[in-house]
Amino acid sequence: MVAPHVSPGRRRWTPATVGVAAAAGFVAALVGLPATVHAMGQPDELRELAADAAHAVAEERALVAIAATVEATPGLLAAVHARLADVDAAGAVLLTELDAAGAQLPGVVRNALSALAADGAGAPSDSTYRAAVAELLDLTTQPVRVVNVPVEPQGIGFATLVIVALMFVALGLTALLFTLRSARPRRELSALAWSDALTGLANRRRLDHDLRERALGTGAARGRHPVSGPTAVIMVDIDHFKDINDSHGHRYGDDVLRAVGAMLTREVRRDDVVYRYGGEEFCIVLPGAGDSDAARVADRIVAAARRLELPGGVKVTLSAGVADGTGADIERTLHAADDALLTAKRTGRNRTALPTPA
């Protein structure tokens, strides 16, 4: 399962990059050699790896939270630990691939992607997971852009070089202080903007962004699957969720949402993307799938929900609506799946439904 990458934007010259570029130019002038200033970006492969890694870290964070906070039955705990082992192994592989692609990863990312102990002990802190997701999402925002600006030696006098050197040192220190003060809030906002804080899944805002990208044929839509190829959508709703909240409280309801979110990520295919659509409703986008493929996934999800073991012996069921279409027209497919979900709920819940023929 993968998450699409954050919307790419124009590379901005921050105080830090200005300071680095200025220092590089000064050093070249000092030694009397031609210099080249590089505004480095990330290739598509690296952006895609960073996006996959961000989703893996977010899912591992959610699974660790479930294992630590939910008074789970042995069956649920075993399922969470099994999925955690798979996600952890995938994260370690992604770390190796990111290193091979030349990514300069900070320590929090390496810590979050490194393999856990065999018993799952020693997992990173929640703040480490959040910071790692933010760093990886930052990687996905870098466009490919390389600018070469030759700087020829001009025979500058030594006194002038000393003055320029002092100016660059002051600029570099100012840039460093500014970056240290502003980077953390920016990363936190980036992480909050694209992921659901309760479940760790991609959120509704992320889904809207991905729909626009697919409609335009840009970004992640140009990755593994053609935009015009088959794409299916499953809309999922927890049956009688209001009754669960009324009977057991909203904190218990939050535990149910986390458990269902973890189950959905466990039951979908590798390239499918799970979003929390809102409230107790989830959306799954299945690139390369027709309605028969999506119906099999939906049936598997509905059956897995019946087997979920929740504290107090509470049982939940799911209703699912399935529709298929093309990647370029995925928004219409989503509306069709939503109509099918209403059909599933009207006809008794705890089932999968396809769109009613017009």
Sign of CA dihedral 221, 223, 229, 235: negative
Long-range pairs for 26-33: beta carbons < 8 A, 24 or more residues apart: 26/161, 26/164, 26/165, 26/168, 28/151, 29/151, 29/153, 29/154, 29/156, 29/161, 29/164, 30/161, 30/165, 32/153, 33/153
Is 213 an active-site residue?
no
Decide if 35 contacts 150 (C-beta within 8 A).
yes
Query: What is the spatial distance between Cα 192 and Cα 185, in angstroms, rounded to a whole number?
Result: 11
- The DSSP symbol for 352 reads E
Which of 60, 71, 280, 281 is labelled catalytic? 280
Residue 120 φ/ψ region, left for φ over 0, alpha for ψ in the -120 to 50 degree band, beta for the rest: left
Decide if 150 contacts 36 (C-beta within 8 A).
yes
Q: How wide is the angle at C-alpha 157 spanned by C-alphas 155 and 159, nearest 5°?
A: 160
Helix/strand/coil for 230: strand
Question: Would you please indicate which residues are annotated as catalytic (active-site) residues?
Answer: 280
